[in-house]
């Protein structure tokens, strides 16, 4: 076995840590996943145990190596990916004082609504590229300050999940540009912490990690961390980025106009840009990724979780493949049944934590397969709506790529092609964020010709072309769909108040 012939992409997601072992040319050799729960101690709150996440990361890496009996010395490096917007209060020893408050947490809704309506909030968005929304650590910290949250008052530092792990494993405090950008406190042009944001939430720059490029390398590992990971102490870890831009990188959507759609637990649509661009309507984000790349796009709160909800409500114990197969029985457009997928509130393009789901157009002759198909169509209509905002800002949509768990379903990918009226390009591997993370580690070690050279490393599958007849149906229905949120917004807010009274 050739020494140091493998590279690992470690992806710390919303529900699990996934370790994927690749060859340097991108072939998947082994993978392992270890999950952890999200708890909801109060309505609208969403938390995780940071120590459970750490143990899951240890287990995922170790098991991915053990599966193929890969020795520690055969691992060249590790690249890191993580979900955005998480916040942990820690003490001076990087012990957690609070749970992880994740992107789906909505406790700061009132602070977000107040800031979003203010000139200060608009100025904050234009400087940081992060829309004003409860997902943002900025708003979480303002809520902590306003409520006297005890872990906030005692905290030495405020960290994301990835920073928490690297600080504990290496004793080094550093945060990559894209994770920093997603806090709402980072100046995306200067790549420094934004002083007005820090003042708003009552913290100092010393309580945050120094921002670093995605190619920054951590080394050496503490001995106990190396043992639990199954790695050598001198194995370098590369800062990488957040899962969104790394999915673009790992799928090859790195040139301006190349669009990536990802659906995992939630959904997103993104493009890389050679310059920062913010949106006067505040409908999309803009995050720094590297020294010369920014990522623009919008996340939705509702993606694969909609499929899970449909399975639970209508599945009759069917597995996911059974749900998708039954949904195919309904015609394109579900015989005039539309579904707003805002089960967990919504981020882009509305940025409204009180938004809710709704079936619209329900008739006596609609059956279960209509309900299922409308749910899947609504999820993609929501992402397409964000794509309209993105195209308005960039004016480009040259090539459409798909990644995430949904890309394993030919039916769902066909829906994507039909709704977007674009050919969808799919990589053979579905581990896009992990390969993006691994590619940063190879680039940091001088093993590649640069981040943009990733496109040539990705084997692609068969493209999926739109069906003209289905596209015509979706074009007509989307005109109705995109007006439904505004029509139902007053009812959503009244019902949200009712549930929380």
Domain holding 417: CATH number? 3.30.420.40
Residues 373 and 327 sit within 8 Å (Cβ to Cβ): yes
Task: Check whether residue 220 and residue 272 sit in a common domain.
Answer: no
Interatomic CA distance for residues 296 and 300, integer angstroms: 14
Structure tokens at 108: 């700061």
* pLDDT computed for residue 154 by the predictor: 98
**Strand ranges for 26-143 from DSSP E:** 28-35, 47-48, 75-82, 88-90, 100-101
Assigned domain for 434 exists:
no
Task: Check whether residue 198 and residue 171 sit in a common domain.
Answer: yes
Give the residue from 244, 268, 283 where a domain finishes: 244
Interatomic CA distance for residues 386 and 154, integer angstroms: 39
Assigned domain for 29 exists:
yes
Give the residue from 244, 267, 293 where a domain finishes: 244
Task: Check whether residue 31 and residue 156 sit in a common domain.
Answer: yes
* pLDDT computed for residue 398 by the predictor: 73
Q: How many CB atoms lie within 10 A of CB 29?
A: 18
Assigned domain for 450 exists:
no
Position of tokens 């840590």? 17
Assigned domain for 457 exists:
no
Task: Check whether residue 13 and residue 104 sit in a common domain.
Answer: yes
Task: Check whether residue 259 and residue 402 sit in a common domain.
Answer: yes
* pLDDT computed for residue 237 by the predictor: 99
Task: Check whether residue 208 and residue 287 sit in a common domain.
Answer: no
CA 262 to chain centre: 8
Give the residue from 222, 244, 266 where a domain finishes: 244
Interatomic CA distance for residues 168 and 318, integer angstroms: 42
Does the N-terminal peptide bond of residue 183 adopt cis geometry, omega within 30 degrees of 0? no
Helices 410-420 + 320-327 axis angle, to 10: 40
* pLDDT computed for residue 316 by the predictor: 67
For residue 218, the cross-strand partners are 237
Please name which of 138, 139, 137 lies closest in space to residue 110, comparing C-alpha atoms: 139
CA 386 to chain centre: 15
Task: Check whether residue 121 and residue 240 sit in a common domain.
Answer: yes
Give CA separation, 247 vs 243, 284, 325, 442, 470, in Å. Answer: 6, 18, 27, 16, 28
Assigned domain for 87 exists:
yes
Assigned domain for 442 exists:
no
Contacts of 483 (CB under 8 A, 6+ apart): none
Instruction: List per-block mean pLDDT (blocks of 10 residues) for the chain, which spans 501 residues.
Output: 83 96 95 97 95 99 98 98 98 99 95 96 98 97 99 99 99 99 98 99 98 99 99 98 95 91 92 94 96 96 92 80 94 99 95 95 97 98 96 84 91 98 92 95 96 88 97 98 98 93 85
Residues 345 and 332 sit within 8 Å (Cβ to Cβ): no
Assigned domain for 135 exists:
yes
Q: What are phi and psi of 112, to 5 degrees?
A: -65, -45
Structure tokens at 224: 């106990």
Task: Check whether residue 404 and residue 276 sit in a common domain.
Answer: yes
Task: Report the DSSP pairing between strands 258-263 and 267-273.
Answer: antiparallel
pTM listed for this prediction = 0.93
Residue 244: exposed, middle, or buried by beta-carbon count in 10 A (0-12, 13-18, 19+)?
A: buried
Which residue range(s) make up the domain with 257? 253-426+467-501
* pLDDT computed for residue 1 by the predictor: 42
Residues 219 and 225 sit within 8 Å (Cβ to Cβ): no
* pLDDT computed for residue 264 by the predictor: 85
Assigned domain for 282 exists:
yes
Task: Check whether residue 156 and residue 20 sit in a common domain.
Answer: yes
Interatomic CA distance for residues 104 and 210, integer angstroms: 25
Task: Check whether residue 360 and residue 409 sit in a common domain.
Answer: yes
Structure tokens at 271: 């493009």
**What sign results for the dihedral spanned by CA atoms 182, 183, 186, 192?**
negative
Residues 258 and 272 sit within 8 Å (Cβ to Cβ): yes
Task: Check whether residue 298 and residue 233 sit in a common domain.
Answer: no
Task: Check whether residue 393 and residue 487 sit in a common domain.
Answer: yes
Number of folded domains that form the chain: 2
Contacts of 196 (CB under 8 A, 6+ apart): 120, 123, 124, 127
CA 93 to chain centre: 29
């Amino acid at each position: 076995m050739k020494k140091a012939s493998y590279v690992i992409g470690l992806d710390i997601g919303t529900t699990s840590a996934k370790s994927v072992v690749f060859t340097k040319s991108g072939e998947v050799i082994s993978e392992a996943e270890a999950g952890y729960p999200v708890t909801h101690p109060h309505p609208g709150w969403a938390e995780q145990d940071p120590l459970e996440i750490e143990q899951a990361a240890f287990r995922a890496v170790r098991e991915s190596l053990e599966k193929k009996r890969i020795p520690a010395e055969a691992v060249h490096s590790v690249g890191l990916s993580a979900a955005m917007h998480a916040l942990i209060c820690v003490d001076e020893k990087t012990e957690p004082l609070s749970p992880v408050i994740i992107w789906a947490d909505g406790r700061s809704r009132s602070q977000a609504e107040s800031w979003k309506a203010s000139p200060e909030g608009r100025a904050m968005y234009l400087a940081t590229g992060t829309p004003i929304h409860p997902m943002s650590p900025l708003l979480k910290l303002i809520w902590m300050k306003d409520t006297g949250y005890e872990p906030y008052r005692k905290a030495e530092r405020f960290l994301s999940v990835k920073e928490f792990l690297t600080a504990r494993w290496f004793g080094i405090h550093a945060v990559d540009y894209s994770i920093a950008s997603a806090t709402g406190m980072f100046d995306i042009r200067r790549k420094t912490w934004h002083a007005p944001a820090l003042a708003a939430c009552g913290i100092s720059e010393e309580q945050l990690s120094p921002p670093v490029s995605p190619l920054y390398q951590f080394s050496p590992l503490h001995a106990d961390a190396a043992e639990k990971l199954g790695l050598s102490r001198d194995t370098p870890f590369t800062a990488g980025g957040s899962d969104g831009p790394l999915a673009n990188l790992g799928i090859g959507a790195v040139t301006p106009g190349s669009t990536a759609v990802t659906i995992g637990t939630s959904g997103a649509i993104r493009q890389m840009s050679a310059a920062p661009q913010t949106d006067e309507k505040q409908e999309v984000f803009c995050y720094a990724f590297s020294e010369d790349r920014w990522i623009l796009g919008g996340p939705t709160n509702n993606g694969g979780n909609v499929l899970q909800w449909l399975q639970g409500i209508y599945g009759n114990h069917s597995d996911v493949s059974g749900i998708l197969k039954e949904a195919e029985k309904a015609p394109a457009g579900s015989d005039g049944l539309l579904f707003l997928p805002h089960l967990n509130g919504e981020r882009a393009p509305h940025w409204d934590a009180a938004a809710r789901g709704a079936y619209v157009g329900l008739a006596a002759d609609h059956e279960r397969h209509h309900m299922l198909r409308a749910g899947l169509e609504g999820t993609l209509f929501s992402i397409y709506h964000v794509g309209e905002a993105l195209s308005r800002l960039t004016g480009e949509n040259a090539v459409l790529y798909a990644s995430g768990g949904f890309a394993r379903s030919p039916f769902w990918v066909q829906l994507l092609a039909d709704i977007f009226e674009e050919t969808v390009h799919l990589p053979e591997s579905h581990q896009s964020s992990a390969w993006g993370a691994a590619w940063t580690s190879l680039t940091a070690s001088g093993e590649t010709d640069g981040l943009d050279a990733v496109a040539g490393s990705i084997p692609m599958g068969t493209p999926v072309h739109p069906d003209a007849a289905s596209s015509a149906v979706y074009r007509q229905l989307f005109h109705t769909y995109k007006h439904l949120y505004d029509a139902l917004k007053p009812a959503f807010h009244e019902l949200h108040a009712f549930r929380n009274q």
